[in-house]
Amino acid sequence: MLDNIRVVLVGTSHPGNIGGAARAMKNMGLSRLVLVEPEDFPSGDAVARASGATDVLDAAQVVGSLEEALVGCSLVIGTSARDRRIPWPLLDPRECGVTSCEQAAAGGEVALVFGREYAGLTNEELQRCQYHVHIPSNPEFSSLNLAAAVQVLAYEVRMAWLAASSLPTKVEKLEATAMLNSQAATADELESFYGHLRRVLVMIGFLDPQKPRHLMTRLRRLYGRSAVSKLEMNILRGILTETEKAVRGEPHKQGKSDV
């Protein structure tokens, strides 16, 4: 699907912006870059700003007109930073991502067109686009760097693609002890913990062994409901151990825990 979506930069004056756009594209899984009459390309500045996305730069197509850049496209979306006299179908970035992916999934070629750093796209160029997309930036400081604008739309395209592909849009943060954190504490580990917990509660005077009532039963139910992992069990046992040391007046850990 993403192979059917091309990013078109028109009249880019700073080669660093081309490299930044290439990096933004590769971050989000886009690879087709078309440059319309760039003022300076190829360029070492573009390579430096690409930061590893040189494959996108190497495969970039350089053409002499917007018409040539749009050959084969069934959907063209142009970025516009200001209101135009003639009303035009307008999308926000999220709608742009969804519409682009829907068209690409159906086999159509899609072009996301970005204009010059200093002036954007001309009215004539915008009229070659079926839709205009406006990034709702801060009205008091609305001018976006070209590469930043590419990043915004490329991100929305990726989010729409992930949703259409039934892929997760977030990745759970892994801890260094992820294996322990994913494994449930065993029955024998829980029994050992309950014994330890009871000893400490008696030690601090919270549990009267002569009149225990239903305290341990309730605590068993509480921890049983929590599906304690091995890592969490290690933390709980550590707390109990340090509590015992504190009660006995022995040296114990102070300050923040390192777990």
Please say whether the beta carbons of 41 and 140 come within 8 A: no
The radius of gyration of the chain's CA atoms, rounded to the nearest angstrom, is: 30
Amino acid at 43: S
- pLDDT for 178 equals 58
Instruction: Flag the least confident range among 191-195, 215-219, 224-228.
Output: 224-228
CA distance linking residue 200 with residue 203, whole number of Å = 5
Task: Supply the mean pLDDT for the chain.
Answer: 90
> How many CA atoms within 13 Å lie on the side-chain side of 189?
17
Residue spans of the domains in the chain: they are: 2-165, 177-248
H or E segment to which residue 174 belongs: none
pLDDT in tens, 143-154: 899 999 999 999
CATH of domain 177-248: 1.10.8.590
- The β-bridge relationship of strands 5-10 and 109-114 is parallel
- pLDDT for 121 equals 93
- DSSP assignment of 80-119: -SS--SS---EE-HHHHHHHHHHHHHTT-EEEEEE-BTTT
CA distance linking residue 13 with residue 81, whole number of Å = 18
CA distance linking residue 186 with residue 64, whole number of Å = 69
Please say whether the beta carbons of 4 and 107 come within 8 A: yes
Instruction: Flag the least confident range among 9-18, 46-55, 99-108, 219-228.
Output: 219-228
pLDDT(109) > 60: yes
pLDDT(116) > 60: yes
Residues 97, 102, 105, 111, Cα dihedral to 10°: -50
Distance in Å from the first CA to the final CA of the chain: 43
pLDDT > 70 fraction of the chain, expressed in percent and rounded = 90
pLDDT(256) > 80: no
- Cis peptide preceding 87, ω within 30 of 0: no
What predicted TM-score, i.e. pTM, was given to this entire model?
Answer: 0.69
Q: Look at the domain 2-165 and name its fold.
A: Alpha/beta knot (3.40.1280)
Handedness of CA 34, 35, 36, 42 (dihedral sign): negative
Please say whether the beta carbons of 16 and 48 come within 8 A: yes
Domains 2-165 and 177-248 fall in the same CATH topology: no
Q: In whole angstroms, how far apart are CA 95 and each of 2, 91, 242?
A: 16, 6, 55
